[in-house]
Amino acid sequence: MRSLLLLCLLCLTAFTSLQAAPKRELIVNNRILAKVDGNPLSLLDVAKRMDVLFYQQFAEHAESAEARYQFYTANWGHILHDLINRELILADANEKKLPISDGDIRQEMEEIFGPDVIGTIDELGMSYDEAWQMILKDITIRRMMMYRVHNKVLASSHPTDVVEAYEEFAQKQATPAKWKYQVLTIRHEEPTRAITIASKAYRLLSEGNADFNTLLGNFAEDETSALSISKTYEQDDKAISPVHKEALSSMREGEYCRPISEMSRSTNALVYRLLYLQGYTEERIPPLAEVEEELKNYLQDVALAEETEKYITELHEYYGVDVIAQPKTSETQHFVLR
């Protein structure tokens, strides 16, 4: 129903600019659309149902034929599908002889149509008996769904279901550990010179006599060409190289590691690297207490959807539905603005 309402809102934007136009009339080209357990469902039945839904959500546009036209043409198919399922549930309720009090019906009519029930119903072009029967059906369907679906889901739920769902959730939603660091790379065609420069760089950095911003000023001009300092990296377990992860995992923030020898990917030459750890964020898995209610709601929604589909499928098989072939006209010709 939520997606239906979003679609309705999109439709409404198309006609707001037309409200100043002369008042028009919406014509419903009535025809039988389906039969449920031998009982016919007509386009007029669908239109009356849409009238109530439209009034509930867009009462301020109740007088606009253009608004209703847009709403009808966009949504009659969804509403027909919903009405078929409703009739099936009502047939099941009739067999079970589910009792509904007149007081329950009157109370809901006031909630939907407001204090002037008669006036609102008259504006919708419905009789009092038609509105009464529609509300009676709504209450009946809710109670049957509670009896046939919701109670089964609640009875079958178990605390271990949440724990199992949490284990899967934790694996997917865990925030991985992340390292923020820079790399000093030393490249020199003479291996002994590379080792000497790397050792000097480490001594200056680890003793606090230089940092990456001032390091190059401590080397001769012919040595600085062997040094390069990277940008700041922020990488998690999936992105960081195993060599860098191993070095960084044993460091504290603000520390420099000893020179690491590696083979350059671009030249296949031996290079030395010093890592500077700027920051580290530990892996975080949301605790169960933080997400327990969300997981319960999710599991319940999934179970309700599955149990509802199972129930409706059983009703289709038991009572039978005959969808009448649609006329060879466009859908918009079900409804005409005049």
Residue 314 has pLDDT above 70, yes or no: yes
Residue 108 has pLDDT above 70, yes or no: yes
On whether the CB atoms of residues 52 and 134 are closer than 8 A, the answer is yes
Q: Can you say how many angstroms the Cα of residue 126 is from the centroid of all Cα atoms in its chain?
A: 37
On whether the CB atoms of residues 271 and 261 are closer than 8 A, the answer is yes
Q: What is the pTM of this model?
A: 0.56
List, for residues 284-304, the tens digit of each pLDDT value: 888 888 888 888 888 888 999
**Residue 76 burial by Cβ neighbours in a 10 Å radius (0-12, 13-18, 19+):** buried
Backbone angles phi, psi at 175, to 5 degrees: -85, 115
Whether 250 and 302 share a structural domain: no
Whether 239 and 105 share a structural domain: no
More confident residue, 111 or 284: 111
List, for residues 162-176, the tens digit of each pLDDT value: 888 888 887 777 788
Q: Which residue has tokens 């865990």?
A: 174
**Total count of domains within the chain:** 2
Residue 165 lies in a domain: no
Residue 166 lies in a domain: no
CA–CA separation, 327 and 81 (whole Å): 17
Residue 324 lies in a domain: yes
What was the pLDDT predicted at 260?
92
What was the pLDDT predicted at 168?
81
What was the pLDDT predicted at 270?
87
Residue where a domain stops, chosen among 281, 307, 328: 281
Whether 6 and 147 share a structural domain: yes
Average pLDDT over residues 186-208: 92
More confident residue, 286 or 196: 196
Whether 47 and 154 share a structural domain: yes
Residue where a domain stops, chosen among 281, 307, 326: 281
Whether 18 and 54 share a structural domain: yes
Whether 144 and 246 share a structural domain: no
List, for residues 50-64, the tens digit of each pLDDT value: 988 888 888 888 788
List, for residues 241-262, the tens digit of each pLDDT value: 899 999 999 999 999 999 999 8
Average pLDDT over residues 61-71: 87
Whether 122 and 220 share a structural domain: no
Whether 274 and 126 share a structural domain: no
Whether 102 and 241 share a structural domain: no
What was the pLDDT predicted at 285?
82
| Rounded percentage of the chain residues whose pLDDT exceeds 70 | 91
Residue 7 has pLDDT above 60, yes or no: no
What was the pLDDT predicted at 19?
47
Cα Rg, the chain, nearest whole Å = 35
**Among candidate residues 85, 103, 110, 100, the one with its CA nearest the CA of residue 136:** 100
Whether 181 and 252 share a structural domain: yes
- Half-sphere exposure of residue 41: CA atoms within 13 angstroms, side-chain side: 26
Whether 104 and 208 share a structural domain: no
Residue 206 lies in a domain: yes
Residue 220 sits in a domain whose CATH number is 3.10.50.40
Residue 169 lies in a domain: no
Summary mean pLDDT of the chain:
85
| Rounded percentage of the chain residues whose pLDDT exceeds 90 | 42
Q: Using pLDDT thresholds of 50, 70 and 90, give the confidence band for residue 3.
A: low
Residue 170 lies in a domain: no
Residue 231 has pLDDT above 70, yes or no: yes
What was the pLDDT predicted at 39?
86
Whether 199 and 254 share a structural domain: yes
CA–CA separation, 29 and 42 (whole Å): 10
What was the pLDDT predicted at 18?
42
List, for residues 132-156, the tens digit of each pLDDT value: 998 999 999 999 999 899 888 888 8
Residue 177 has pLDDT above 80, yes or no: yes
User: What count of other Cβ atoms lies within 10 Å of the Cβ of residue 127?
Assistant: 11
Residue 50 lies in a domain: yes
Residue 324 sits in a domain whose CATH number is 1.10.4030.10
Q: Supply the range of the domain harboring residue 262.
A: 175-281
Residue 113 lies in a domain: yes
